[in-house]
Chain A
Amino acid sequence: MLSKVRERLMNIKFLRRILNWGRAWSLWSVHLETGCCGPEDMGRACARFDTERFGTLPFPTLRECDLLFITGLVTKKMAKRVRMIYDQMPDPKYVIAIGECAATGGFYWDSYSVVQGVDRVIPVDVYVPGCPPRPEAWIQGIKMLQEKIKKEGIDEK
Chain B
Amino acid sequence: MEDRVVEDVKASFPDDVLEIDVQRRGRVSISVKRDRIYDVGLFLRDKLGFDHIASVSGVDYIDKKEFEVVYHAWSIDKKILAALRTRIPRDNPVLKSLVDVWEGALYHERETWEMFGIKFEGHPNLSLLLLPEDWEGIPPLRKDFILPKRPQE
Contact = CB atoms under 8 A, between A and B. Distances in A.
Contact of B133 (A77, A110, A116): A77
A112 B147 contact: yes
How many of chain A's residues touch chain B, expressed as a range? 10 to 19
Contacts of A99: none
How many of chain B's residues touch chain A, expressed as a range? 10 to 19
B150 A113 contact: no
Interface string B123-153: 0000000011100000010000101111100
B130 to A, nearest CB: 8
Contacts of A116: 151
A112 B131 CA distance: 10
B133 A112 contact: no
Contacts of A105: 151
Contacts of B149: 110
A115 to B, nearest CB: 11
A13 interface: no
Contacts of A110: 147-150
Interface centre among B131, B132, B149 (most CB of A within 10 A): B132
B145 to A, nearest CB: 8
A112 B150 contact: no
Contacts of A49: none
A104 B150 CA distance: 13
Contacts of B145: 112
B151 A113 contact: no
Nearest to A75: B132
B135 to A, nearest CB: 9
A51 to B, nearest CB: 32
A124 B28 CA distance: 53
B4 to A, nearest CB: 44
A115 B3 CA distance: 50
B131 A113 contact: yes
A77 B140 CA distance: 15
A59 interface: no
Nearest to A78: B132
A76 interface: yes
A112 B132 CA distance: 10
Contacts of A76: 132
Interface of A: 75-77, 104-105, 109-113, 116
